[in-house]
Structure 1
Amino acid sequence: SLVTVGLTVAAARNLPGVLELLLLNRLPLDAGARYALHTLLRYAITAIGILVTFGALGLRWSSIQWLVAALSVGLGFGLQEIVANFICGLIILFERPFRVGDVVTIGDQTGKVTRIQIRATTVTDWDRRELIVPNKEFITGKLINWSLSDPITRVVVPVGVAYGSDTQATEKLLLKIARENLMVLSQPEPSALFLGFGDNSLNFELRVFVRGMENRIPVAHYLHVAIEREFRKAGINIAFPQRDIHLDTTGPVQVRLVGSPKDAGPSQGTPDPSASTGQ
């Protein structure tokens, strides 16, 4: 039985890797599919090794079925979260709502999937922090996969220009800036839209498409820099919050100056000596 356990551990560690080198790499499969088959094969080898070990110890199903039933009830109550995460891990490997290397958003966290394990999945965010997320969260919660079938995503840059600006010139300039950026895709085409009249500005949006989540922030940065530079050259003012004060001029405006007691000087509140002497 010890030999069987040793062979099972060695096979579970090495055989999936050998199979991947000899067979899976030659098949038209992506990295996520190869990883799923690699993991499932490791689980299968472990399960077969456990059954063979029980057989070598002389334990038959008829003699241990009641013990298994009792353990199943105990595990169902005491380890239900772990069992649920294990089952969800199998669902992830079979259904493949995401793969290793995909960029996902779970809750308020976004990052790249680096490892799918029995109980949890590891997601590395943009600060290179490794988030250990239970598999149940991916199945029962809201999941956004930014690269499941199409890695192209849209970047929206809001721009507000001052009232009185030439709207057609603003639209043409925004499109020119987008087309000159090498990271912006030509298909789907970028668009510049005049969305409406704001409190302090004429509201535009520049919408462009980029390939991959890793390009979203750099593209937004370069577009912001180019918009500020080109608008300054063209004399188009970028609006900022401001308020106008209108005074009622139908009647006299009363102005009252209020100062501190120190500004009044020593003469205030001091009687004139000449007034008391009659001089």
Structure 2
Amino acid sequence: GIVIVLDNAGIHLGALTVFAGSVGVGVGFGLKNIASNFISGLLILAERPITIGDRIEVAGITGQVKQIRARSTVIMTNDGIAMIVPNEKFIDSPVTNWTYSDPRVRFRVPVGVAYGSDVNKVRDALIAAAREHPATLNDPPANAYLEKFGNSTIDFELIAWSEKMSYKPRRFKSELNFLIEKHLREAGIEIPNPQRDLHIRDGVIKVKTVSEPETGERSEA
């Protein structure tokens, strides 16, 4: 009876079936995402790869975990922006947890000094700069390594460990750089600009002076 009524009303059952099927597929995909995020949330709570307060990086987002909800997790970035991340991202994407098993984080600061500098003085100055910062840990101790001989500089790398500044890495590195500049300057060690030395073995270099063209209009004779 219903089929006859619909047919008399100009509604074809075939079109209605296609429409219902499309709606069902859309609802199915929506429920699939909801179920996936919900199950991922349960896995996060059970396995605890992240906890509230951890500093993490996932799907290109870096910040501190503020909330772990049924379908999503709230991450607060250093810019004070709350990012809502679907929980399934923590299951199917790599997650970097800076404070997972140990809140201590190692920071690396590259430093280049001029050739001719006393490398032992450079190392001592870098370590002293790291130790002066109140957030630098004594264990593991700060250290400095001579990495390589660059084109214009002797390249060192300062290693410093911190627990408090893992949530403010950019600020910590900036403050270390200020201290590094201070200690190198006090030790008389130069941080040079990029430069190249040109050695002429023989021959003559001709130098031609090119005058600038005159400006303004010339009056016609």
Give TM-score, length-normalised by structure 2: 0.79
From the superposition, tell whether residues 262 and 119 of structure 1 become closer, same or farther in structure 2 (CA, over 3 Å): same
Which residue of the partner structure matches residue 211 of structure 2? Answer: 259
Q: Is 193-202 or 232-241 further displaced after alignment?
A: 232-241
Distance 1:95 1:104 in 2: 16
Residue segments in structure 2 that go unaligned for 5+ positions in a row? 1-23
- Aligned to 1:219, the other structure's residue is in SS state helix
Aligned counterpart in structure 2 of residue 111 of structure 1, from 39, 63, 81: 63
Q: Give, as a single letter, the amino acid of the residue that structure 2 aligns with 1:229.
A: K
1:144 paired to 2:96? yes
- Paired residues, number: 193
Distance 1:74 1:175 in 2: 61
Q: Give, as a single letter, the amino acid of the residue that structure 2 aligns with 1:237.
A: E
Residue segments in structure 1 that go unaligned for 5+ positions in a row? 1-71, 271-279
- Aligned to 1:101, the other structure's residue is in SS state coil
Larger radius of gyration between Structure 1 and Structure 2 = 1
From the superposition, tell whether residues 259 and 80 of structure 1 become closer, same or farther in structure 2 (CA, over 3 Å): same
1:245 paired to 2:220? no
1:226 paired to 2:182? no
Which residue of the partner structure matches residue 182 of structure 1? Answer: 134
Which residue of the partner structure matches residue 96 of structure 1? Answer: 48
Distance 1:218 1:77 in 2: 43
1:123 paired to 2:72? no
Which residue of the partner structure matches residue 47 of structure 1? Answer: none
Distance 1:235 1:103 in 2: 39
**Root-mean-square deviation (Å):** 2.4
Bigger relative contact order, structure 1 or 2 (CA pairs below 8 A, ≥6 apart): 2
Contact 2:75 2:85 in 1 (8 A): yes
From the superposition, tell whether residues 160 and 84 of structure 1 become closer, same or farther in structure 2 (CA, over 3 Å): same
Write 1 or 2 for the structure with the bigger share of helix: 1
Equivalent residues in 2 for 1:1-279, closer than 5 Å = 76-212=28-164, 213-247=166-200, 250-262=202-214
Give TM-score, length-normalised by structure 1: 0.63
Distance 1:94 1:105 in 2: 20
